[in-house]
């Protein structure tokens, strides 16, 4: 028999309904929103509920009553009797063992649930979840007697995270406090292990990963172990059925730097070590092959008359002298020619438009990643070439942290365009069996590329929308993160099957995106600790408050 | 489905009038005869020390709160709800059928300053005129009748049981007297009997002692102290050794001194946390039982509506011969008074108009008892 913690109360004002019920409990009973409780129901069935709100009441009728009860405002007053008080709890019905959904009855005892019952209630029983992919763990009844507390792994059905049933993950939360990257990496590690697991090898699916490193050296040593991982965290990984090794099959791609400009926060010796063991490459952009990506430099530029687009088309279609150009320097010179007063080129494009175009590209093209050619001996590579050759189970980390915002967008746009083309079979030279069936792209700061403020014709935005809408069937899965989910384009977040909410600020949760979330959960979002998330996935019967352990890979302080 | 009143009519060979059913409002209850309104004539001082006027106990109250646990651990209250459920004719007379719900309960205060149930009992009773028993079999008839009523399918279905059927006198009424009041009085007697039973229970368990007193809501001077199962005076005396009766309401005009003058002014002008001297009082209702009675102000008059709000009437039965002779030890009077002062908070302001005179644990006990009643609509419609 589980511990009885209270009784259901159905009142005139707050009746029990198909969806919810209330119960009273002792004011000292430690409960938390998201805890699962059970109630006996008719036909020997059990109804499970998830705690949504906990209120404490006394028979104090008003504040005035309280004031009077202290001898009319004497703060030193002590009483012989405590006011009668209790907690009452609102619980949301999440299931019944016999699918009976008539309201639970007044006076029924409310109990803690056992681990098995919690799994059944939340639909977390691994045996009943197809393609189980661990996504964290839940803890319940914390703070109660020993033996009552329950810790359980939580599994996604991978088909609802990685397709074909549902795809894409969106993680939101305050920078630093929400550990968005850590949670994404935890999930990616879980996915990598899932697809490399001996037992799972029978599955005819495979996956590859493309991660963009946007902050410092965050993701530049994900194949090196975290020396500071505590025993407690190791035990959690064991409970979750994950090994404690870091990522495997990792390749790093650093933006090419020359003597004057360093394009990465990684230390030179570390990069050199990785280059020596063929774990890292330096990527470059070559005019001849990459001029078609020039539009990506204009992602965040308002272009209401589409003059920039016209210029790009002019260049790509090799009009004027652009057909004879083979390097970026000549390209800039040729653009310069078009900027001269009285230049007689395409009459539809004004000189002032060419000048605007030049202003935008000149700064970008001064970066050494725009180069004449690549040298394979020096481990230099074109990023598109690298991406299109990604193999099953490989993890590509593309460092863009030190690039300026426009360049970051350019590289990201190029990567997703390459992934998209690869999955669409646009690279004829790549044999089909070599192409991973799924490629997961992880990008932080999604708001930079697909916020509501981004110009409608931004090529990156269009690419992201396309991936979020069609990626599920193409095998492109977007793991994205941002501070403010409310700022993200509706079509992008609307197509995400899974949403993870880390610590979020109060202004953000007042936005429409959070309207359907119960107020208490919203308030909890503002207090979530690092390593804690509220998860929404179509497989779960309600929102889940999950936790995850510290990262397995090397952390730079 | 047939109602209970039909069953009563059938079994007692009467005629029902299907009269309007209603619950007697509390202010209609003729309890004037039973509590609080007896004329209190002060025979002599009811405590060992001679106190000229009033005595201030604020210091003592503060001191005992610091150094000792509260004296009062148990709180007793009884309440009843009465209903007119039908009129019934026997011969050529028409009598009301009165029904009632009686609740008596005792709460105890634990170390954590929280109230917990010690005992609670709810009873449902019906009161019929004596003449409902046409053969004059008395108790036996009414016992049989209640058994038959309890076999009624409606009650079986609802799992409700009537405890007993009481009877009121079928006699000529005095002016202003009503049969309804006779019936209600029977229910009141039954409630008092149940209260006495609880005190007896607590005493027999030896849980009332010098550190654990009981506050009984209302006067201790039961009119029918010498009747019922607990009529033995010596038992009653022993049972009430650690029981203090605290009345919220009293008629100050009924408190007169030896010269027959009203004491009301003294009581009205009692200062905050002062008590009057204890008076010794011998009930005219219960011979040979003497009481010590005093008044205590627990709320400042500036916060109350009338000068008598915030004053408690405190009663204690004098047990030993010495007490009966010299009165209650002044130390004990002070201790009881100081502890009552310490019970003044919290208050039930906003919930009960008598908040200034209510003691919170007693108020809670009352609320606890009332929470166990069937709703008026439900109860009435059994008939």
Rounded Cα distance between A162 and A332, Å, is 43
B27 and B46 share a domain? no
- B134 to chain A, minimum CA–CA distance in Å? 44
Choosing among A24, A80, A86, A107, which should be mutated to test the B contact, i.e. which has the most B CBs within 10 A? Answer: A80
ipTM of the complex: 0.78
pLDDT digits (tens, 9 = 90+) for B259-305: 667 778 888 889 999 999 998 888 766 667 888 999 999 999 888 88
Name the residue among B84, B7, B367, B69 with its Cα closest to residue B217. B367
Rounded Cα distance between A546 and A548, Å, is 7
Q: Which chain B residues have a beta carbon less than 8 Å from that of A60?
A: 346
- Token pair of B341, please? 């002062």
Confidence (pLDDT) at A556? 82
B3 and B134 share a domain? yes
A44 lies in some domain:
yes
pLDDT range class, residue B223, cuts 50, 70, 90 = low
Confidence (pLDDT) at B170? 85
CB contact under 8 A, B346 and A64: no
Q: Is B109 on the interface with A (CB under 8 A)?
A: yes
The pTM assigned to this predicted structure is 0.78
- A26 to chain B, minimum CA–CA distance in Å? 12
Cα angle value B372/B374/B376 (rounded, 5°) = 130
Q: Which chain B residues have a beta carbon less than 8 Å from that of A61?
A: 348-351
B56 and B173 share a domain? no
A211 lies in some domain:
no
Q: State which residue of chain A sits closest to B107, comparing Cα positions.
A: A81
The answer to whether the beta carbons of residues A390 and A439 sit under 8 Å apart is yes
- Token pair of A200, please? 């799972």
Q: Taking 70 as the threshold, does the pLDDT of residue B234 lie above it? A: no
Rounded Cα distance between B197 and B215, Å, is 15
Q: Is the peptide bond before A164 cis (omega within 30 degrees of 0)?
A: yes
B239 and B132 share a domain? no
DSSP conformation letters of A338-353: HHSTT--S-TTS-HHH
Q: Is B272 on the interface with A (CB under 8 A)?
A: no
Q: CB-CB: which of A59, A64, A79 is closest to B345?
A: A79
B22 and B67 share a domain? no
Q: Is A57 on the interface with B (CB under 8 A)?
A: no
B363 lies in some domain:
no
Q: Which chain A residues have a beta carbon less than 8 Å from that of B303?
A: 68, 72
CB pairs under 8 A between A and B: 64
Confidence (pLDDT) at A425? 87
B266 and B165 share a domain? no
Q: State which residue of chain B sits closest to A59, comparing Cα positions.
A: B348
Q: CB-CB: which of B113, B300, B303 is closest to A81?
A: B113
Exposure b/e, A511-525, CB count within 10 A at least 16 = b: eebbeebbebbbebb
Domain count for chain B? 2
Q: State which residue of chain A sits closest to B64, comparing Cα positions.
A: A80
Q: Taking 70 as the threshold, does the pLDDT of residue B188 lie above it? A: yes
pLDDT digits (tens, 9 = 90+) for B109-140: 999 999 999 999 999 999 999 998 888 788 88
Q: How many residues comprise chain A?
A: 557
Higher pLDDT, B338 or A393: B338
- Among A334, A350, A365, the domain boundary falls at A365
B168 and B91 share a domain? yes
The answer to whether the beta carbons of residues A526 and A145 sit under 8 Å apart is no
Q: Taking 90 as the threshold, does the pLDDT of residue B25 lie above it? A: no
Q: Is A79 on the interface with B (CB under 8 A)?
A: yes
Q: CB-CB: which of A61, A70, A84 is closest to B345?
A: A70
B149 and B222 share a domain? no
- A244 to chain B, minimum CA–CA distance in Å? 49
- A85 to chain B, minimum CA–CA distance in Å? 9
Domain count for chain A? 2
B368 lies in some domain:
no
Name the residue among B345, B364, B366 with its Cα closest to residue B356. B345
The residue to which tokens 């999440």 are assigned: A94
Choosing among B70, B211, B297, B349, which should be mutated to test the A contact, i.e. which has the most A CBs within 10 A? Answer: B349
For chain B, give the mean pLDDT.
86
CB contact under 8 A, A64 and B349: yes
CB contact under 8 A, A65 and B113: no
User: Which residues, at least 6 apart from A364, have a Cβ–Cβ distance to it below 8 Å?
Assistant: A297, A370, A406, A407, A410
CB contact under 8 A, A81 and B346: yes
Q: Is B345 on the interface with A (CB under 8 A)?
A: yes
pLDDT digits (tens, 9 = 90+) for B245-254: 999 988 777 6
CB contact under 8 A, A64 and B350: yes
Q: Taking 70 as the threshold, does the pLDDT of residue B36 lie above it? A: no
Q: Which chain B residues have a beta carbon less than 8 Å from that of A78?
A: 65
Confidence (pLDDT) at B18? 87
A229 lies in some domain:
no
User: Which residues, at least 6 apart from B30, have a Cβ–Cβ distance to it below 8 Å?
Assistant: B181, B184, B185
B278 and B323 share a domain? yes
CB contact under 8 A, A69 and B345: yes
- Which residue range is the domain that position A118 belongs to? 4-122
- Which residue range is the domain that position B41 belongs to? 34-71+211-344
Confidence (pLDDT) at B34? 39
- Among A61, A96, A122, the domain boundary falls at A122
A149 lies in some domain:
no
CB contact under 8 A, B351 and A69: no
Q: CB-CB: which of A61, A72, A81 is closest to B351?
A: A61
A419 lies in some domain:
no
pLDDT digits (tens, 9 = 90+) for B80-108: 999 999 999 998 889 999 999 999 999 99
B118 lies in some domain:
yes
B189 and B222 share a domain? no
Choosing among A69, A81, A86, which should be mutated to test the B contact, i.e. which has the most B CBs within 10 A? Answer: A81
A328 lies in some domain:
yes
Confidence (pLDDT) at A56? 95
Q: Which chain A residues have a beta carbon less than 8 Å from that of B347?
A: 65, 68-69
Q: Is A60 on the interface with B (CB under 8 A)?
A: yes
B128 and B25 share a domain? yes
Tens digit of pLDDT at every position of chain A (557 positions): 688 999 999 999 999 999 999 999 999 999 988 899 999 999 999 999 999 999 999 999 899 989 988 988 889 888 999 999 999 999 999 999 999 999 999 999 999 999 889 988 888 887 788 888 899 999 988 877 777 888 899 998 888 888 888 889 999 998 877 789 999 999 999 999 988 875 556 667 789 999 999 888 889 999 999 999 999 999 999 999 999 999 999 999 999 988 888 889 999 899 999 999 999 999 999 988 888 888 888 887 888 788 888 888 888 888 888 888 888 888 888 888 888 877 766 667 888 888 888 888 888 888 899 988 889 888 999 999 999 999 988 999 999 999 988 888 889 999 999 999 999 888 888 888 888 999 999 988 888 888 888 887 788 888 889 888 888 888 999 999 999 999 999 999 889 999 999 999 999 999 988 988 888 889 889 999 988 999 998 888 788 999 999 999 998 87
* A356 burial level (CB within 10 Å; 0-12, 13-18, 19+): middle
CB contact under 8 A, A81 and B349: no
Q: CB-CB: which of A61, A71, A81 is closest to B109?
A: A81
pLDDT range class, residue B32, cuts 50, 70, 90 = very low
Q: Is A69 on the interface with B (CB under 8 A)?
A: yes
CB contact under 8 A, A79 and B346: yes
B108 and B160 share a domain? yes
CB contact under 8 A, A61 and B360: no
- Token pair of A142, please? 């914390």
CB contact under 8 A, A68 and B349: yes
Q: Taking 60 as the threshold, does the pLDDT of residue B35 lie above it? A: no
B314 lies in some domain:
yes
Q: State which residue of chain A sits closest to B299, comparing Cα positions.
A: A71
- Among A326, A350, A365, the domain boundary falls at A365
Q: State which residue of chain B sits closest to A79, comparing Cα positions.
A: B345
The answer to whether the beta carbons of residues A271 and A283 sit under 8 Å apart is no
Rounded Cα distance between B274 and A61, Å, is 29
Q: Which chain B residues have a beta carbon less than 8 Å from that of A59?
A: 348, 351, 364, 367
Helix, strand and coil in chain B, % to nearest 5: 35, 25, 40
Rounded Cα distance between A462 and A460, Å, is 5
Q: Is B297 on the interface with A (CB under 8 A)?
A: no
Name the residue among A521, A523, A526 with its Cα closest to residue A545. A521
The residue to which tokens 């939360």 are assigned: A173
CB contact under 8 A, A84 and B364: yes
Q: Is A78 on the interface with B (CB under 8 A)?
A: yes
B350 lies in some domain:
no
Confidence (pLDDT) at A473? 86
DSSP conformation letters of A222-236: TTSB-TT--HHHHHH
The alpha carbons of chain A give a radius of gyration, in whole angstroms, of 28
A469 lies in some domain:
no
């Amino acid at each position: 028999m589980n511990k009885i913690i209270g009784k259901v109360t159905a009142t005139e004002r707050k009746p029990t309904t198909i969806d919810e019920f209330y119960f009273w409990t002792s004011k000292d009973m430690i409960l938390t929103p998201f805890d699962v409780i059970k109630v006996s129901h008719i036909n020997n069935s059990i109804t499970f509920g998830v705690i949504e709100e906990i209120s404490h009441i006394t028979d104090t009728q008003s504040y005035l009553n309280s004031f009077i009860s202290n001898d009319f405002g004497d703060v030193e007053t002590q009483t012989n009797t405590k006011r009668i008080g209790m907690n009452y709890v609102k619980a949301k019905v999440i299931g019944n063992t016999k699918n009976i959904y008539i309201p639970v009855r007044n006076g029924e005892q409310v109990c803690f649930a056992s681990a098995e019952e919690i799994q059944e209630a939340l639909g977390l029983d691994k045996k009943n979840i197809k393609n189980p992919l661990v996504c964290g763990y839940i803890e319940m009844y914390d703070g109660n007697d020993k033996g009552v507390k329950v810790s359980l792994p939580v599994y996604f059905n991978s088909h609802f995270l990685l397709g074909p049933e549902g795809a894409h993950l969106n993680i939101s939360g305050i920078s630093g406090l929400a550990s968005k990257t850590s949670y994404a990496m935890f999930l990616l590690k879980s996915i990598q292990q899932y697809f490399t697991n001996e037992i799972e090898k029978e599955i005819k699916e495979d996956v590859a990963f493309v991660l963009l490193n946007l902050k410092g050296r965050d993701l530049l040593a994900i194949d090196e172990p975290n020396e500071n991982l505590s025993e407690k965290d190791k035990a959690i990984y064991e409970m979750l059925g994950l090994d404690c090794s870091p990522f495997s099959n990792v390749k790093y791609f650093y933006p090419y730097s020359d003597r004057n400009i360093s394009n990465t926060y990684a230390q030179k010796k570390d990069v050199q070590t990785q280059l020596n063991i063929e774990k890292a490459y330096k990527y470059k952009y070559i005019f001849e092959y990459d001029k078609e990506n020039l539009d990506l430099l204009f992602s965040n530029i308002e272009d209401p008359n589409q003059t920039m687009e016209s210029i790009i088309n002019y260049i790509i279609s090799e009009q004027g002298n652009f057909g004879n150009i083979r390097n970026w320097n000549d390209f800039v010179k040729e653009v310069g020619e078009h900027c001269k007063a009285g230049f007689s080129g395409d009459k539809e494009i004004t000189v002032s438009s060419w000048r605007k175009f030049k202003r935008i590209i000149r700064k970008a093209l001064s970066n050494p990643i725009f180069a004449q050619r690549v040298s394979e001996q020096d481990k230099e590579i074109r990023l598109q070439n690298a991406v299109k050759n990604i193999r099953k189970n490989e993890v590509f980390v593309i460092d863009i942290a030190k690039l300026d915002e426009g360049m970051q967008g350019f590289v990201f746009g190029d990567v997703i365009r390459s992934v998209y083309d690869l999955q669409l079979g646009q690279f004829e030279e790549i044999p089909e069996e070599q192409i991973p069936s799924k490629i997961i792209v992880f990008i932080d700061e999604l708001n930079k590329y697909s916020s509501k403020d981004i110009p409608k014709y931004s090529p990156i935005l269009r690419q992201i929308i396309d991936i979020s809408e069609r990626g599920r069937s193409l095998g492109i899965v977007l793991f994205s993160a941002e501070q403010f989910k409310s700022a993200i384009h509706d079509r992008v977040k609307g197509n995400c099957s899974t949403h993870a909410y880390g610590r979020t600020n109060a202004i953000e949760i007042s936005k429409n995106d959070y309207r359907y979330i119960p107020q208490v959960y919203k308030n909890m979002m503002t207090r979530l600790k690092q390593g804690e998330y509220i998860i929404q996935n179509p497989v779960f019967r309600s929102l889940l408050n999950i936790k995850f352990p510290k990262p397995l890979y090397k952390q730079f302080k | 489905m047939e109602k209970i009143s039909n069953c009563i009519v059938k079994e007692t060979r009467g005629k029902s009038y299907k009269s309007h059913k209603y619950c007697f409002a509390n202010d209609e209850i003729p309890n004037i005869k039973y509590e609080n309104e007896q004329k209190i004539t002060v025979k002599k001082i009811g405590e060992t020390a001679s106190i000229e006027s009033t005595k201030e106990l604020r210091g003592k109250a503060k001191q005992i709160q610091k150094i000792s646990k509260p004296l009062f651990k148990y709180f007793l209250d009884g309440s009843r709800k009465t209903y007119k459920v039908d009129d019934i004719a026997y011969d050529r007379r028409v009598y009301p059928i009165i029904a009632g719900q009686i609740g008596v309960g005792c709460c105890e205060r634990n170390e954590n300053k929280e109230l917990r149930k010690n005992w609670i009992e709810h009873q449902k009773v019906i009161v019929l005129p004596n003449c409902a028993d046409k053969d004059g079999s008395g108790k036996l008839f009414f016992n049989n009748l209640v058994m038959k009523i309890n076999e009624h399918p409606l009650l079986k279905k609802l799992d409700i049981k009537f405890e007993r059927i009481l009877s009121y006198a079928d006699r000529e009424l005095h002016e202003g007297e009503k049969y309804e009041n006779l019936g209600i009085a029977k229910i009141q007697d039954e409630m008092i009997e149940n209260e006495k039973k609880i005190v007896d229970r607590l005493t027999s368990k030896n849980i009332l002692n010098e550190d654990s007193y009981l506050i009984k809501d209302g006067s201790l001077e039961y009119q029918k102290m010498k009747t019922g199962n607990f009529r033995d005076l010596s038992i009653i005396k022993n049972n009430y050794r650690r029981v203090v009766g605290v009345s919220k309401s009293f008629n100050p005009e009924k408190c007169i001194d030896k010269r027959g003058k009203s004491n009301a002014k003294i009581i009205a002008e009692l200062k905050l946390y002062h008590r009057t001297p204890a008076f010794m009082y011998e009930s005219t209702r219960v011979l040979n039982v003497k009481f010590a009675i005093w008044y205590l102000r627990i709320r400042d008059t500036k916060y109350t509506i009338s000068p008598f709000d915030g004053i408690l009437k405190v009663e204690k039965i004098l047990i030993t011969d010495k007490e009966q002779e010299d009165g209650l030890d002044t130390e004990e009077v002070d201790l009881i008074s100081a502890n009552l002062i310490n019970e003044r908070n919290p208050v039930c302001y906003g919930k009960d108009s008598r908040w200034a005179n209510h003691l919170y644990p007693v108020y809670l006990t009352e609320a606890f008892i009332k929470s166990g009643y069937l709703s008026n609509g439900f109860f009435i419609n059994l008939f």
